[in-house]
Amino acid sequence: MITIDKFNFSGKKVFVRVDFNVPLDANFNITDDTRIVAAMPTLKKIIADGGSPIIASHLGRPKGVEDKYSLKHILAHVSKLLGVDVQFANDCVGEEAGAKAAALQPGEALLLENLRFYAEEEGKPRGLKEDATDDEKAAAKKAVKESQKEFTKTLASYADVYVNDAFGTAHRAHASTALIADLFTAENKMFGYLLQKEVDSVERIMKAPTAPFTAIIGGAKVSSKIEVIENLLDKVDNLIIGGGMAFTFIKAQGGKIGNSLVEDDKLELALEIIAKAKKNNVNLVIASDAVCGDAFSADANVQTVEADQIPDGWMGLDIGPKGEKEFTDVILKSKTILWNGPAGVFEFDKFAHGSKVVTEAIAEATQKNGAFSLVGGGDSVACVNKFGMAEKVSYVSTGGGALLEFIEGKVLPGVKAIRGF
């Protein structure tokens, strides 16, 4: 597989799939440009070589053409970051797009309109009636799959080279993330810098971690992380369970959790995970105390109690001081660290201290002890950003669902389309 470093883009038109699915406020101002900034090294490399990037992305989940999801809202910022006056095509597959792509000169760039304005990008039919029969659904799906082929061919026709730099959508077998790669030769398709870094970072921790390997898995529900946890249990030395999901484990072992979040239908599963961890000699760590609130609110009353003795009417919303020490002691001894999911409701300052301590411990293990740390998943990324630690961990992933599926051991279509596996 050819790498972007070794490719000379001089005189080439390059279809670059990026993930510019960034949050916008009511006035269409970008509130977090992390994903745009992350794609700049790839785009700047193409321009510096004398190539012409044709930039393609989705924004939001439109059901057709919707102005609020137009990429025109981010055009000025992309131009500013790239250092060139990026042109814009009001459609991604219309005459204008084809003409502007054909007219691009070396060093110029073009941003296409939102790919998901077309159902063909995702390959899913739209506009079906709620009472559509199975036959009607099958016919609609067949029709969109057929039109998707032409949509994909049109996108590919703009360029000589295909570069995928959108890890955030690599788990989707969409027209621009996977199908299009089949229309380019092996010598003319590759990962961008960002996607290559993402793949390298995840494979480093999953295939060749330096021991001790610690995974910190948080979030609200066990059910959303089952496959992640199960795939990690034969790889990690320590598994730290944080966030709301910890209370399902605590209740499963007979603890009193008050009004804390719990999945009663996953209690047996929690016990199975505990047993499997023991069988695999994995040190399973759950905080022994909890900071509780009498409401899920930023101004709730607060008390700290044993995590398995939470009074009725109270809910665990963060780990307590003992839990902070238990987590920190494990993290600081680790050489490989994966963090997905905060320790508590860090959005509320009263319940943010545990996540702050975890963030600081990961940064210290990385900076002082030489650990390799990968932080991924929206809430974890927001955590390291909130506490100013993004530059002090080894790698912050831009992928949410894609990262989880990769950690689960699944093959990502966007990755397979380029490297074959």
User: Domains of the chain by range and CATH?
Assistant: 4-196 (3.40.50.1260), 209-407 (3.40.50.1260)
pLDDT at 393 over 70: yes
Task: Annotate 296-329 with DSSP letters as a single string.
Answer: SSTT--EEEEETTEEPTT-EEEEE-HHHHHHHHH
pLDDT tens figures, 262-282: 999 999 999 999 999 999 999
Which tokens sit at 128?
């079906």
151 by Cβ neighbours in 10 Å (0-12 / 13-18 / 19+) ranks as: buried
| pLDDT recorded at residue 379 | 85
| Separation CA 315–CA 159 (nearest Å) | 55
368 phi and psi angles, rounded to 5 deg: -100, -30
pLDDT band with cut points at 50, 70 and 90 for residue 183: very high
pLDDT tens figures, 20-56: 999 999 999 999 898 999 999 999 999 999 999 999 9
pLDDT tens figures, 295-315: 999 999 999 999 999 999 999
Cα radius of gyration (the chain): 23
Please count the residues of the chain.
421
pLDDT band with cut points at 50, 70 and 90 for residue 111: very high
Query: What positions carry a catalytic annotation?
Result: 35, 221, 378, 401
Percent of the chain topping pLDDT 90: 90
pLDDT at 157 over 90: yes
Average pLDDT over residues 335-353: 95
| Closest C-alpha among 363, 323, 364 to residue 240 | 323
| Separation CA 402–CA 414 (nearest Å) | 10
Quote the DSSP letter at residue 349.
G
CA 189, 194, 195, 198 torsion-angle sign: positive
CA 154, 56, 394, 83 torsion-angle sign: positive
The Cα-based distances of 299 to 307, 315, 318, 347 in angstroms read: 21, 14, 14, 12
pLDDT band with cut points at 50, 70 and 90 for residue 408: confident
pLDDT at 288 over 90: yes
The pTM of this model reads: 0.89
pLDDT band with cut points at 50, 70 and 90 for residue 222: confident
| pLDDT recorded at residue 378 | 63
Question: What is the average pLDDT value for the chain, to the nearest integer?
Answer: 95
| pLDDT recorded at residue 412 | 95
